[in-house]
Every structure is written in structure tokens, then in C-alpha cells.
Amino acid sequence: MTVVEADRSPSLVETRLGGRFRLDERINVGDQISGTCGASWEAGGLSLWKATDELLGRPVTIYLLPAGRPVSPDLVAAVLAAAKVSDPRLATIYDTDLSADRPYIVSEWATGMHLEDLVLSGLPTPALAAAMIADAADALAVAHQAGRPHLRLTPRSLRWDSTGLKITGLGLDAALCGSRPDEDPMLADTRALARMLYALLTGCWPGEEATALPPAPRYKGRVCTPRQVRAGVPALLDAITYQALRGHAPDAPTRPLTPAALARALHGVRRPSLRLVDPPELAGTELAGTGLAGTGLAGTGLAGTGLAGTGLAGTGLAGTGLAESADGLDPIRRPGHAAWPWAERVQALPRESVSRRRARHARARGGLLHHTTLLRSAV
């Protein structure tokens, strides 16, 4: 986070707000929020500070509002609503003083890298990107359930460090900017999450907002899918991202897009992994030599259905017309099911060659077995 030189006037340095909050460093507002709103903040007299709560001995963020001006009712309502939402992934409002002489808002100090810096420093794996946004979607689902949307979710609103995720500016940034979404608040927040997932997968920004990331490539006016931009993005994750960008729920296009729906879909993304299996475990099983023993699918009724090992069991996506291949890269069309409207030009994969089948059986006999594991986000 960029810190600008603090104003050393006695009124700001020697005085402690509320008798306990010591202003330490002034923060560049552009590091807190993307777009033009940061400049309008400072032009309007608002400043952002890193401060110390001397009573509790912890760092805090101070939104120092212009003195002598009445605080807007929208900002008061946003602060009161945000303070009622409790989730460790959402920056907490600690204290406020909205009196006219020196109004301020005290919020939790969020450490770590925001999404822009994270993407510019190097892309995570697709599996990790899915887990990161799934965690953010879970947190926003809690906020929406409490009736408090974010309304101005930008790449700089999400921060990660060794302890996990932190989302800043819940309702507060939108109230300070005076911005209102043109669409349903729940849809607006979820599509913003989809744009961030796209950025983590490709390194490009698919939205119209001004960010530090390069714009996503487009073809005939439409943003290219993640797989068209970066090789190695699993087909299922590509489909979830593209569906959410268009404003449709990943599990069913007819359902409304919500943070909870996006989180469920991303929690259902599975990634291939390798596990060493003792060869005697395969002896005497019905699935010996099939590559399915020990995967958790034995006895589920999925063996031989074409879905075993695809990572779709129990995700709500089985039988929808889109399944993921064993290598996690190419989609296949399920017989008897129409393709989803956003899954364009999906082609069936060729049959597995004899040589590939022999190699797979040889790996199983040698004790190396391919199976899938469910990716869970770290909280």
C-alpha cells in the first residue's frame, strides 16, 4: 500500500481522534479503491489514514471526513448497516464520530496484497484462483443475507495475506463515492466477483472500469473466455466464469446469479491429483484395473456412467450437458442433453485410444492411480 507523507500540522499529528486514535501515515486513496472515485474523494476533502488505536494497541484505518460539512444520510445508513455484519473476512467497522467539527470512521486495518498487485506479481493456479473467489463469494453471501451489499467491489477491495482473505469497504466505498449500480445489488456484486475470477485466471480485466490490469481481449465485441486467453484453464471453471460474467447462475441459467450460487459452483470444482495406492488394495475389487478404485466413487452408482472421475459427482452439474474430462481441460457433451446456451460449439472428445488405455492400466497395476480430490477454500 502506498503511503504519502503525513501532514505534520499540530491539528492532525498531536491530536488523537476520540482521545485514542493516533494518525500515523496518510494513505494514497488510489491504493484503497480503483477507478476515478479515489481522486474525487481527495478533491472533496476526504483523507485516508493508517492509525493506531492506543487503547487496544492495534493498527486501524481512519476515514477522515471533511470538517464542518454535514454527513450524508446515505453514508450514515451504510456505516450502521456495515457495522451489523459479522464475518472475519469482512473488514469490521470499529468506531465512528460523525459530529460536524471532525467526523471520522474507524475500520479494521487490512494487510496483504490486493488483487491488482497479486495478479501483476504472478497468476495463481486455476484451482487456487477458484478457491480464492469462492471464499470471497462466501463472505459476500453472509453480507447479503444481513441486507448489506458491497455495491462498489473493485480489484482493490480484496486483499490476501497469510491469514486469508479480507474484503474492505463494505457499503462504505459506495456511499463515499455516491455510486449506485445500474442493476440489482446482488447481481452487481456477483458479476464483480466473476470479473475478479477472470483476472486471476487470465491476468486481464474484463470490465469497463479503469484498473492497473490490461483489458481482456475481445472478439466481435464479446470478451474472450478464460480458456481462449490462457492455456490450461479447466473447462468447467471456464464455463462457470463465462456464465457468471453474463449474469447467469453457474448451476442453472434460469436461476438468479448470487454470491451463494457462485460459491457453490466454485466449491464444486475439482482438480486432478495423483495418489500412491498399495497394489494389494485393488485385488478382489469390482473396479480393479478400471482406475476408479479408491476414488470415493466405488459403490456410488456412477461407475460406467461416463461421469466417474469427471469431478462432477455431487456438484449439481452432473447431467447438465457439460462434464469435465479426466485431464480437466476439455469438455464433453453428454448424450441426450442439450448443451447450455453459453457452452458454444462443444464437441465430443474422440474415444480413448488403445495405447492410452493400456498405459492407464499399467499405471494402476504399478500402484499409481489417478483420482480427484475436492478443492476446499482455506478460511
pLDDT (tens digit per residue) in 292-339: 344 443 444 434 443 344 433 444 333 333 333 333 333 333 333 333
pLDDT (0 to 100) of residue 268? 83
pLDDT (0 to 100) of residue 46? 85
pLDDT (0 to 100) of residue 249? 83
- The one-letter code for the residue type at 220 is K
190 versus 379: the higher-pLDDT residue is 190
* Mean pLDDT taken over the chain: 74
113 within 8 A of 159, measured Cβ to Cβ: yes
Confidence check: pLDDT of 120 > 90: yes
pLDDT (0 to 100) of residue 176? 86
With vertex at residue 121, the alpha carbon angle to CA 88 and CA 166, rounded to the nearest 5 degrees, is 10
Poorest-pLDDT segment among 9-23, 112-126, 190-204? 9-23
Q: What is the pLDDT of residues 71-118, one digit of tens each?
A: 888 899 999 999 889 999 999 999 999 887 889 999 999 999 999 999
CA–CA gap between residue 53 and residue 55 (Å, rounded): 5
Poorest-pLDDT segment among 24-33, 234-243, 323-332, 365-374? 323-332
CA–CA gap between residue 373 and residue 280 (Å, rounded): 22
pLDDT (0 to 100) of residue 4? 41
Q: Residue range 230-250: average pLDDT?
A: 91
338 within 8 A of 321, measured Cβ to Cβ: yes
Poorest-pLDDT segment among 129-143, 160-174, 261-275? 261-275
Q: Residue range 38-48: average pLDDT?
A: 74
The beta strands (E) that lie in 284-344 are given as: 323-324, 331-332
Q: Residue range 222-250: average pLDDT?
A: 92
CA–CA gap between residue 26 and residue 62 (Å, rounded): 9
pLDDT (0 to 100) of residue 276? 42
Q: Residue range 165-177: average pLDDT?
A: 91
CA–CA gap between residue 105 and residue 96 (Å, rounded): 4
pLDDT (0 to 100) of residue 363? 56
pLDDT (0 to 100) of residue 192? 95
Estimate the crossing angle of helix 259-267 against helix 235-245, to 10 degrees: 170
pLDDT (0 to 100) of residue 229? 95
Smallest CA-to-CA distance from 51 within 127, 109, 133 is with 109
Pairing of β 21-27 and β 47-53: antiparallel
Cell of 208: 469497463
- pLDDT bucket at 253, cuts 50 / 70 / 90: low
CA–CA gap between residue 105 and residue 172 (Å, rounded): 10
Poorest-pLDDT segment among 58-72, 119-133, 332-346? 332-346
Contacts of 53 (CB under 8 A, 6+ apart): 20, 21, 59, 60, 94, 106
Half-sphere exposure of 219 (CA within 13 A, CB side): 5
CA–CA gap between residue 360 and residue 327 (Å, rounded): 13
Q: Residue range 219-242: average pLDDT?
A: 93
- pLDDT bucket at 209, cuts 50 / 70 / 90: confident
